[in-house]
Amino acid sequence: MFFKNNKEPHEVFTPRQSKVNPNMYVARPDLEARLRQSLTGTQHVIVHGESGTGKSWLYKKVLADMQAVVLPINLANASRFGGIAAEMKNALERLGTATQTGYSETKSSEMTAVLATGGLEHEKTFALGTKEPFEACCAHLRKEAGKHPACIVFDNLETIFESDEMMNELANLIVLLDDERYSEYRIKMLIVGVPTGVRDYFNRTRNRATVANRLQEIPEVSRLSQSQTAELVKKGFVQELAYDVQSDVLSRVTEHVAWVSDRIPQRIHEYCLEIAQLAQERDKLVGVDLLEVADAHWLSRSLSNTYSVIENLMNERDTKIGRRNQVLFCLGRVEGDEIRLSEIEALVRTEFSRTTENKTLDISTLLSRLAQGDDGVAPVLRRSPKGDTYQFADPMFRMCIRAMLIKDSERQVVSKRSISTIAAGGAV
């Protein structure tokens, strides 16, 4: 017997796959430990992080390792179906348990009653056929889990912000789990969403002190570390695809991937998928020469909206200096999330020393324009509440700028990598 590796790029690099691929999963020991601890504690848990940072893979991995039984509730569906209870019903039906466990819609007002009166008489025995969806879920989960942990995951919290009704519905469920009747099921809730979402959630929930008391946050799920990024790239190309890649090439490819993707897991997969598909076409040979084409493919396939925003912001090609282009380029060089005026000014002066010598640069005006957004174009920056720093309005802008803008050191001007050449099959 011999081992034949015939995995396809899209089976290895899976930017949008919700199911965890254990072969590609990069361990995140700190976050995993925090999540595990929180899940074994007495409070319910919040996981927050920007889109694509790996929240879903993280909780799925940790819960699977704990042998927990999980009921995923997609709050995006709750918005479509008009309520969390409705989505719980769907979730139960998907599990094919509705008939076994049973629930009755007429009882669903009971939940509100419990909260209003501060408790309901505890019924020692209740008929299986009369549970409202939430209790039916709890009962089902506990039955399935036996001695193992049982968890309801509410993912995509941000999708219900606009609805006070659903926000309160969720808050009510959290409080309800303390009620004797529900607490015996020992169900953990895990709430997952983007950071602004989570903050808003606390601010907008009616009984926020009560709810906040019952919730614990783990640290923000954010970009991978350099070494985790390297591990991911190596797993993909070497271990899973068994491509032909020299070690010095691998480190240069990794460095570039880390830079353009901002080390966001989803973006790393996306970008590596581009490289892998290009390499596949030429005998699985990975080379540094593929990066330029990969940049263009990635920009056009995954960042095209962002690309056009930046494109619209750029000075016309023939302005002499193109100060705004220089500033955009330098925004991409900033490593941290906070962008300081002084840092940008210093960067512009070093990167473009000749065109800035003995000149006053009105960087402050340029930055505040980028934070205002022009003529229906989305703002690229967001000013901090204190007003002294900026952040990218969306992390995608940074990635896009990094992959898109090219500095001509000779002429000290910045130009864009064109994505229109791709259709013709050419490099850029």
Q: Which residues bind Mg ion (CB under 5 A)?
A: 56
Q: Does 79 bind ligand ADP (CB under 6 A)?
A: no
Contact stretch for ligand ADP (CB under 6 A) within 50-58, 62-70, 74-82, 83-91: 50-58
Q: Are 119 and 179 in contact (CB under 8 A)?
A: yes
Contact stretch for ligand ADP (CB under 6 A) within 53-61, 396-404, 409-417, 418-426: 53-61
* Nearer of residues 168 and 266 to ligand ADP, judged by Cβ: 266
Contact stretch for ligand ADP (CB under 6 A) within 8-16, 294-302, 323-331, 357-365: 8-16
SS3 19: coil
The residue at minimum Cβ distance from ligand ADP is 54
- CB 140, min distance to Mg ion, A: 23
The residue at minimum Cβ distance from Mg ion is 56
Question: Given strand 389-392, what is the order of strands in its sheet?
Answer: 339-340, 389-392, 381-383
The strand pairing partners of 187, in sequence order, are 150
Q: Does 220 bind ligand ADP (CB under 6 A)?
A: no
The binder of 25, among ligand ADP, Mg ion, none, by C-beta within 5 to 8 A per type, is ligand ADP
Q: How distant, in Å, are the alpha carbons of 271, 295, 329, 387 from that of 289?
A: 15, 11, 22, 42
SS3 328: helix
Q: Radius of gyration over alpha carbons of the chain, in Å?
A: 25
CA distance 391 to 380: 9
Q: How far is CA 179 from the centre of its chain?
A: 33
* Encoded amino acid at 97, one letter: T
- CB 271, min distance to ligand ADP, A: 11
Q: Which of residues 226-285 bind ligand ADP (CB under 6 A)?
A: 232, 265-266, 269
Q: Are 421 and 295 in contact (CB under 8 A)?
A: no
**55, 89, 234, 416: which one contacts ligand ADP (CB under 6 A)?**
55
- CB 128, min distance to Mg ion, A: 33
Q: Does 34 bind ligand ADP (CB under 6 A)?
A: no
* Encoded amino acid at 273, one letter: L
Angle formed by the axes of helices 341-351 and 323-333, to 10°? 110
Q: Does 53 bind ligand ADP (CB under 6 A)?
A: yes
* Nearer of residues 194 and 414 to Mg ion, judged by Cβ: 194
Q: Does 16 bind ligand ADP (CB under 6 A)?
A: yes
- CB 156, min distance to Mg ion, A: 7
* Nearer of residues 109 and 305 to ligand ADP, judged by Cβ: 305
The binder of 49, among ligand ADP, Mg ion, none, by C-beta within 5 to 8 A per type, is ligand ADP
CA distance 206 to 167: 9
The binder of 326, among ligand ADP, Mg ion, none, by C-beta within 5 to 8 A per type, is none
Q: Which residues contact 164 (CB under 8 A, 6 or more apart)?
A: 204
The binder of 26, among ligand ADP, Mg ion, none, by C-beta within 5 to 8 A per type, is ligand ADP
The strand pairing partners of 391, in sequence order, are 382
Q: Does 49 bind ligand ADP (CB under 6 A)?
A: yes
**9, 12, 28, 392: which one contacts ligand ADP (CB under 6 A)?**
28
* Nearer of residues 77 and 104 to ligand ADP, judged by Cβ: 77
Q: What is the DSSP code string of 62-82? A: HHHHTT-EEEEEEHHHHHHHT
* Nearer of residues 197 and 373 to ligand ADP, judged by Cβ: 197
- CB 130, min distance to ligand ADP, A: 36
CA distance 234 to 426: 28
- CB 269, min distance to Mg ion, A: 14
**38, 44, 54, 215: which one contacts ligand ADP (CB under 6 A)?**
54
Q: Does 57 bind ligand ADP (CB under 6 A)?
A: yes
According to DSSP, residue 408 is labeled E
Q: What is the DSSP code string of 103-163? A: --GGGTHHHHHHHHHT--PPPSS--GGG--HHHHHHHHHHHHHTTS-EEEEEE-GGGGTT-
Q: Which residues contact 99 (CB under 8 A, 6 or more apart)?
A: none
Q: Are 73 and 154 in contact (CB under 8 A)?
A: yes
The binder of 72, among Mg ion, ligand ADP, none, by C-beta within 5 to 8 A per type, is none
CA distance 14 to 8: 11
* Nearer of residues 56 and 97 to Mg ion, judged by Cβ: 56
Tokens linked to 374: 């022009």
Q: Which residues are near ligand ADP by CB under 6 A?
A: 14-17, 24-26, 28, 49, 51-57, 232, 265-266, 269
